[in-house]
Amino acid sequence: MTTARLGAIDIACNLHEPGDATSHGGGLSASFRDLLHLDDHARTGAGVDVLLDQMDRAGIERSFLIAVRAGDMRMRGSFEIPYDRVARICARHPDRFSGLAGIDPTRGMSGLQDLERAVRDMGFVGAHLYPHWFGLAPDHARYYPTYAKCCELDVPIQIQVGHALIYDPDRPLRSFGHPMTLDTVACDFPELKLIGSHIGVPWTDEMISVAFKHPNVRIATDAHPPRHWPAALVDYLARRGVGKVMFGTDWPVVDPVRARAQIDGIEMPDAARRALLRDTALAFYGLTDAKPATGSTPA
């Protein structure tokens, strides 16, 4: 017996081609990459064709590519993935990729103009923020103009919460991602579509409590393989948190093929599985161009 394979939406994915691995390595030292047991794609980089192949094998219909802004570019060790580069790839594969605009609060008005251009002219579907790269917690006032602009543009923003699992001895990054800081942001911006990414580890219970409290807050599972998801998160997404949690890989950090296999092994109602893998992302991001589930997989 077979059932239709659900076309998943991966809400967080990185461009990490060989040149990226050489130039910045995602902010990780070689020794720290060894500690994390990252695979070859994370170590040496891989082209978009490799990513598309993995998406096909994992049953992922669409991935959101992050135009990363990792730190003030005037500081050694910072890096970025240009918006234009992500936009070109999305334009070549419009049915497979959507763009996310990385946020750098040090750029002031020009950063807000960049965000507006990305959404209005390039078709990006949301924003993305790494607080630890700027040494500012998510509820810091320097981010508030960005939050207001996201409300104006009616796009979600993903904000990494939890510890900063980025380490290089030349620029050690401290953790600024306590999920409870999103409580302040959600109170000040009830119209803002907020996503706490990376689950919030080791403060997962905080992230769940903020998502439970606020109708405009969601959780993303990226950067953590499903077999390592905290039990509290698995229970939440399968029961009272249906419609509150979205699937992501943070590719190449998490292998999408293994992630789908591990999710298949987690017991949950069909409605919860569909919400996690697809429906919550489509609704929160206002996507209407997604294709129905196709193909088959053993039931």
Q: pLDDT (tens digit, 9 = 90+) per residue, 135-164?
A: 999 999 999 999 999 999 999 999 999 998
Q: What tokens appear for 202 in the block?
A: 């080791």
Q: Could you say which of 1.10.260.40, 3.50.50.60, 3.20.20.140, 3.40.50.10320 is the CATH number of the domain covering 2-285?
A: 3.20.20.140
Domain parsing of the chain, residue ranges:
2-285
pLDDT one-digit tens code per residue, 104-139: 999 999 999 999 999 999 999 999 999 999 999 999
Rounded-to-integer distance, Cα 202 and Cα 247, Å: 18
Rounded-to-integer distance, Cα 57 and Cα 256, Å: 8
pTM, full prediction: 0.91
pLDDT one-digit tens code per residue, 197-223: 999 999 999 999 999 999 999 999 999
DSSP reduced 3-state for 48: helix
What local confidence, expressed as pLDDT, does residue 16 receive? 83
Instruction: Give, to the nearest 10 degrees, the angle between helix 181-188 and helix 144-153.
Output: 50
- Judge whether 280 and 271 are in contact, CB under 8 Å: no
What local confidence, expressed as pLDDT, does residue 291 receive? 53
- Judge whether 62 and 97 are in contact, CB under 8 Å: yes
What local confidence, expressed as pLDDT, does residue 41 receive? 63
CA distances to 24, 207, 277 from 283, rounded to whole Å, are 34, 20, 12
Tell me the residue length of the chain: 299
